[in-house]
Amino acid sequence: MYVLVILLIVLAIYVIAYTYYGRGILERRVVKASPDRLTPAWEKFDGIDYVPANKYVLYGHHFASIAGAGPIIGPAIAMVYGWALPLIWVLFGNIFIGAVHDYLSIMASVRHGGISIMSISENVMGRKAKYIFLAYVWIALILVLAAFISVAASIFVTVPQAATLSVLFMPIALLFGLLVYRTGISVRMATLIALILLVLAFIYALRTPLHLTYEAWVVILAVYGFIAAALPVWYLLQPRDYVNAYLLWAFVAFAVLGALLTAGYALTGPAYTSFKAPGAVIGAIPGTAAGKAMVAYFWPAVPLIIACGALSGFHSIVGSGTTSKQLSSELDALLVGYGAMLTEGAVSSLAVILPIALAWSFTSLEAATGAPISSALSKVGIDVAKTPTILGLPAAERFYTGYGIMQALAWSKILGMGNFETLFTTFRTFAAFALSAFVLTTLDTANRLARFAWSEFFDWLKPIDETAYRFLTNRWVASMVAIAIGAILAYPQISVYVPELERHITVYAYAIVWPAFAGTNQLLAALALLTSALWVYAVLKVRGWISLVIMAPALFLWITVTAALILWLVAIAPGLPLLYKLGAGTMVAITLILDILLIALFVYGLRRAS
């Protein structure tokens, strides 16, 4: 299979889905969007919160708010099934679940005057539903902290140049903030200065790697997450997020250009390997009985692996936040909600699945292209004799190694094959840095949000015991609880001897925590989609097969995720070290209990509406 064929299939499916499913069914038949109905941006216009925005500007904001590291790690793990199943899940999940979920969350919020999906759930399912949502969000954010601290630390250990660049990125972001907010230099000029400095820092970082241990990075990142979340935003968070937005778009643009330039190469990876994989794929320790047992059936285990690339529960909250208050016309929601999710899916397909599928077998690709791949890999410490395929690398490393190889192949067509090794090192570092930058952005954001969700969750305590409420919701206590649990779960790195490979492999904490994070996130998506489905049924009064278009994917997702989490609790959690049994295991068990409670509220709401 050629890169070009996959590229064309992916783009064609997205265009057809957007036009016929998104516009034809969702917009016209389900929501019956109308340009004549005033949106909250007009109805409640106040020039600050409620302001109509241009649809492309809003799309840009919304995409920056939903895209992060999530769509990258999951598909990289899922490649053990071959490239076809992850690709099908990303496309299927995007079109029928993820984008529908995002679009309906925005539209439900728009029709409720711009309130969030949590408040809508309170309206359609009762007050308890809101607290359940908050508990979900908090648990999911803790698991985000644990998984992402571990991902970032593992990147800095394997690509120490990315560590140097990330450290240099901080003062550049601070300088940008000072230039714009203190000296009054225009944003464009300050952006230019920051981007030039970033390029210089990149060149410096390539020659000056920063070596620290994994554990040291976990501690540093946890301290960073704690401090950054407490700092005023203009110091670091705002400028860094802003420069990151350029990084995100550059990353996406390179992925598309890379795919176009390598369109004539054949993928070296198999489309399909097996429908089942060892338990290690969904968090069990490799080498143990649970790690070896073939329990990770693609269905229902896939939502424990691929999270944000196909669908994400966080998007329902993001979409019903500022986005719904700035929507100028109901007709814009399709591009902003449905379109942005398809774009995120395209990032997973084109920037992760495609490069890994192309670079799967290093020797085959070397033979087919004539590029010095083995020699380039040996320079970054990968011995092709011991690691003949990309699957021998940890998930995060699969991504930036695959991305680096695809980009090097693409640009060496223009710059000459003699530059392949330099291009590979450069793009591998760029991809690793981009991934770490997305992760770092999420770290302090997740910590701030976890603190807030924690405080909101305990508001019932205030009239009962004000002292306890004040202590629990103190900003330092709330921040510390979240980051401390996250860091403790991220700290271990386990070295395991795998007889089949005849060598020790390092298992980073994220490989264990990721399924718990992904599962919780996907369950949140299932519940948000059920809320939307109930809204469509009870409020919009949509009946017949059209209502099934929403109800069926919502129930399918709920059954899939619930089954996957039960599988994880039964087959994986008992074999984990005590820390994860108590940490991730308890959190997943609590989310499952809340899940049952919420589904009961859903059924009650459905019966009341019938």
Positions touching another protein (CB under 8 A) are 44, 46, 48-50, 54-62, 64-70, 114-119, 134, 137, 144, 180-181, 187-188, 191, 232-234, 237-239, 241-242, 244-246, 249, 308, 312, 314, 317-323, 438, 441-442, 445-446, 448-449, 452-453, 456, 459, 521
What value, to the nearest 5°, has the Cα angle with vertex 478 and ends 472 and 479? 165
**Minimum distance, C-beta of residue 81 to another protein, in the bound complex (Å):** 23
Two tokens, residue 137:
């969000």
How far apart are the C-alpha atoms of 451 and 244, rounded to whole Å? 23
**Minimum distance, C-beta of residue 432 to another protein, in the bound complex (Å):** 19
How far apart are the C-alpha atoms of 436 and 161, rounded to whole Å? 11
**Minimum distance, C-beta of residue 315 to another protein, in the bound complex (Å):** 9
**Minimum distance, C-beta of residue 36 to another protein, in the bound complex (Å):** 23
Do the strands 296-297 and 493-498 form a parallel or antiparallel pair, or are they unpaired? unpaired
- Nearest residue (CB) to another protein, 316 versus 562: 316
Q: What ranges make up the beta strands (E) of 146-230?
A: none
Instruction: For residue 272, give the nearest of 514, 4, 88 by alpha carbon.
Output: 88
Give the H/E segment covering residue 329. Answer: none
Two tokens, residue 522:
């996907």
- Nearest residue (CB) to another protein, 238 versus 329: 238
- Nearest residue (CB) to another protein, 16 versus 187: 187
**Minimum distance, C-beta of residue 121 to another protein, in the bound complex (Å):** 12
**Cross-strand bridge partners of residue 289:** none
- Nearest residue (CB) to another protein, 244 versus 479: 244
Phi, psi at residue 45, to the nearest 5°?
-45, 125
- Nearest residue (CB) to another protein, 236 versus 382: 236
Cβ burial of 199 (10 Å; 0-12, 13-18, 19+) is exposed
How far apart are the C-alpha atoms of 109 and 532, rounded to whole Å? 10
- Nearest residue (CB) to another protein, 215 versus 241: 241
Two tokens, residue 44:
């409640």
Q: How many CB atoms are located within 10 Å of the residue 108 CB?
A: 29
Q: Are residues 290 and 580 in contact, defined by beta-carbon separation less than 8 angstroms?
A: no
**Minimum distance, C-beta of residue 546 to another protein, in the bound complex (Å):** 27
- Nearest residue (CB) to another protein, 68 versus 279: 68
- Nearest residue (CB) to another protein, 60 versus 575: 60
**Minimum distance, C-beta of residue 424 to another protein, in the bound complex (Å):** 28
**Minimum distance, C-beta of residue 265 to another protein, in the bound complex (Å):** 28
**Minimum distance, C-beta of residue 235 to another protein, in the bound complex (Å):** 11
Give the H/E segment covering residue 507. Answer: strand 503-508
- Nearest residue (CB) to another protein, 59 versus 254: 59
Which residue, chain included where needed, has tokens 């990151």? 244
Q: Within 13 Å and on the Cβ side, how many CA atoms surround 270?
A: 10
Q: Are residues 226 and 447 in contact, defined by beta-carbon separation less than 8 angstroms?
A: yes
- Nearest residue (CB) to another protein, 14 versus 298: 14
Three-state secondary structure along 210-264? CCCCHHHHHHHHHHHHHHHHHCCCCCCHHHHHHHHHHHHHHHHHHHHHHHHHCCC
**Minimum distance, C-beta of residue 583 to another protein, in the bound complex (Å):** 20
